[in-house]
Amino acid sequence: MKTHEMKLSKAELREIIIPAMDIMEGQCVRLEQGDYGRKKMYDEDPIDAALRFEDAGFSRLHLVDLDGARERKVLNWKTLEKIAGKTSLKIDFSGGIHHLDDVKIALNSGASFLCIGTIAAEEPETMKQWISIYSPELFILSADVKNEHIAVRGWEKDTGLPVDEFIGAYHKQGINKFLCTDIFRDGMLQGPSFELYEKLLEKHKEIELIASGGVRSVNDVERLIYTGCKGVIIGKALYEQKIHIEDLTKLFL
């Protein structure tokens, strides 16, 4: 599959391809299937890694506060603040956003977008309030999926809520960006859930769907974009050098 078949400009592709960075105790890590007991630490300093992504030509960064997600409050805001202050990357920030104060901390620390999952699934009235205070354009709804049901609380709890209904309900409230992660694929380098994304985009043609989990090659990235995904998050494959940055940047430079 060739990039020109996707009929996207290089500027659009630069917005779509999003490197990920998970932070725990101030270090870059990756988890397998969201399991805190199956983490791998990387020596890279988060600031250095962010600068490397910016220097390579990326314009976005997906930053996850794993400590915050576990403790249910934003904790790694200083890392967010440093990255936002030292780069021009647009940062999608996730993890620990459970109260209005967390929203304020993340925004004041430099987040461009806030990725919300647990609160959106468990406390829809709170989410509705945040949307009314700020703007639906500010939020990315995290649809973390186990067997096509939404999972929350660090992916440990299956809500039984179908992902299709979750997306549909929030799209009616003005949310247009949805980050969908198949937990069984995350960190496993076994390929994305192409069928799931195709099904969701067929049902919800107007949403901006961001794919996450399982990306292992440039071909996977191209196929997801060709499918209609407006964002592709790449984490472990970059840190394990299964995908080289130079091969990705050839798509948009």
Which residue among the candidates 22, 67, 186, 220 is catalytic per the annotation?
A: 22
**Packing angle of the helix pair 100-108, 77-86 (nearest 10 deg):** 30
How many Å is the Cα radius of gyration of the chain? 17
| Catalytic residue chosen out of the listed positions 102, 144, 182, 186 | 144
Q: Give, as one character, the DSSP assignment of residue 201.
A: H
The answer to whether 107 and 133 have CB atoms below 8 angstroms apart is no
Region of residue 147 (phi > 0: left; psi between -120 and 50: alpha; otherwise: beta): left
Q: How far apart are CA 139 and CA 76, in angstroms?
A: 19
Question: Strand ranges (DSSP E) for the chain?
Answer: 17-24, 27-32, 35-42, 60-65, 90-94, 113-116, 139-146, 149-152, 157-162, 177-182, 208-212, 231-234
**Would residue 144 show up in a list of annotated catalytic residues for this protein?**
yes
Q: Which residues are catalytic?
A: 22, 144
